[in-house]
Amino acid sequence: MSSFFYTLPPGGAPPSSPGTGASPSSTGVSDITDGRRTDYEASGLANLIWQFRCSTDLRKLLSIYLRQLQLVENAFFNMKEGMDKDSATGDRLDIIGSIVGEPRAGQTDAQYLNAINARIEINSSQATIEDVISVAIATSGGTVTFQISESYPAGFVMEINEDIDPSLVDVDRLASFISQARGGGILGILVYHVAGSFQYDGPVGTGFDLGKYGGASYA
């Protein structure tokens, strides 16, 4: 007749149901942060049934496999974090842009991120008013606000509420992105106003003969 003897590891506690092989629930709690599991080895060893917990060779063998699982988990999360567009820069941003179909075209990282956000909105656009506004906001990076009015039977006028600096807000690109978000056969017009227009001649400001009050672009 065989007999089993349980030797508790340091700090261990007897099973709650002797003879069932169940381990205490308190030792099986996983360490999970932001969806990432960081305790494969510790949790796996803690979940060994009691009759194997003191087997040194088994614990060493199991640790080898559990560490490999942890490496795979870490690699997947590092890849996921590396493809986060809001924190990506340089080449990583280029890769994200190629995935969504938006080339860099000489833009800075900040400008390119706005373009990528706009392209994502365009790719999922159903040509609703809300979609058009979302594309406009993404293109401008949220630096300006818009109001839009429908022009029946098939058109709309979108106006930028604030005076803009054309060197900071690319109106042509904005109009181009809006035109890609709207539906076919719908006329879109973008109206904008330029800041600091019609100032007196001098070292500061633009002269009457040089400035530009605003404009309207087909979008």
**pLDDT tops 60 at residue 213:** no
| 12 inside domain | no
User: What's residue 8's pLDDT?
Assistant: 40
Do residues 109 and 131 both lie within one domain? Answer: no
| 107 inside domain | yes
Do residues 116 and 133 both lie within one domain? Answer: no
- Give residue-wise pLDDT tens across range 76-115: 887 777 778 888 888 889 999 999 999 999 899 999 999 9
What's the number of domains the chain is made of? 3
In angstroms, the Cα distances linking 2 to 8, 15, 81 are 20, 20, 53
Q: 155-164 and 187-194 as β-strands: parallel, antiparallel, unpaired? A: parallel
Do residues 118 and 170 both lie within one domain? Answer: no
| 139 inside domain | yes
User: What's residue 40's pLDDT?
Assistant: 87
| 176 inside domain | yes
Do residues 133 and 207 both lie within one domain? Answer: yes
Cα(196)–Cα(208) distance, integer angstroms: 11
- Name the least confident of 10-14, 19-23, 55-59, 121-125: 19-23
| 56 inside domain | yes
| 187 inside domain | yes
**Domain end position, chosen among 104, 124, 144:** 124
User: What's residue 30's pLDDT?
Assistant: 53
Return the beta strands (E) in the chain as ranges.
32-33, 36-37, 146-150, 155-164, 187-194, 214-218
Q: Cis omega (within 30 of 0) on the bond before 153?
A: yes
Domain that holds residue 170: 127-218
* DSSP structure class, residue 204: S
Do residues 77 and 107 both lie within one domain? Answer: no
Task: Name the pLDDT band for 34 (thresholds 50, 70, 90).
Answer: low
Do residues 147 and 186 both lie within one domain? Answer: yes
Do residues 167 and 103 both lie within one domain? Answer: no
User: What's residue 13's pLDDT?
Assistant: 45
User: What's residue 98's pLDDT?
Assistant: 94
Contact between 216 and 187 (Cβ < 8 Å): no
Do residues 175 and 201 both lie within one domain? Answer: yes
Proportion of the chain above pLDDT 70, given as a percent: 74
Cα(17)–Cα(10) distance, integer angstroms: 20
Do residues 178 and 151 both lie within one domain? Answer: yes
**pLDDT tops 50 at residue 122:** yes
User: What's residue 20's pLDDT?
Assistant: 39
User: What's residue 180's pLDDT?
Assistant: 92
Compute φ and ψ for 12, nearest 5 degrees.
-80, 170
* DSSP structure class, residue 141: T
Do residues 95 and 143 both lie within one domain? Answer: no
- Give residue-wise pLDDT tens across range 147-162: 888 888 889 998 988 8
| 49 inside domain | yes
Contact between 146 and 177 (Cβ < 8 Å): no
User: What's residue 169's pLDDT?
Assistant: 81
Cα(119)–Cα(177) distance, integer angstroms: 8
How many helices (H) and strands (E) would you count in the chain? 6, 6
- Name the least confident of 31-40, 98-107, 132-141, 199-208: 199-208
Do residues 191 and 146 both lie within one domain? Answer: yes
Do residues 120 and 132 both lie within one domain? Answer: no
| 15 inside domain | no
Task: Name the pLDDT band for 62 (thresholds 50, 70, 90).
Answer: very high
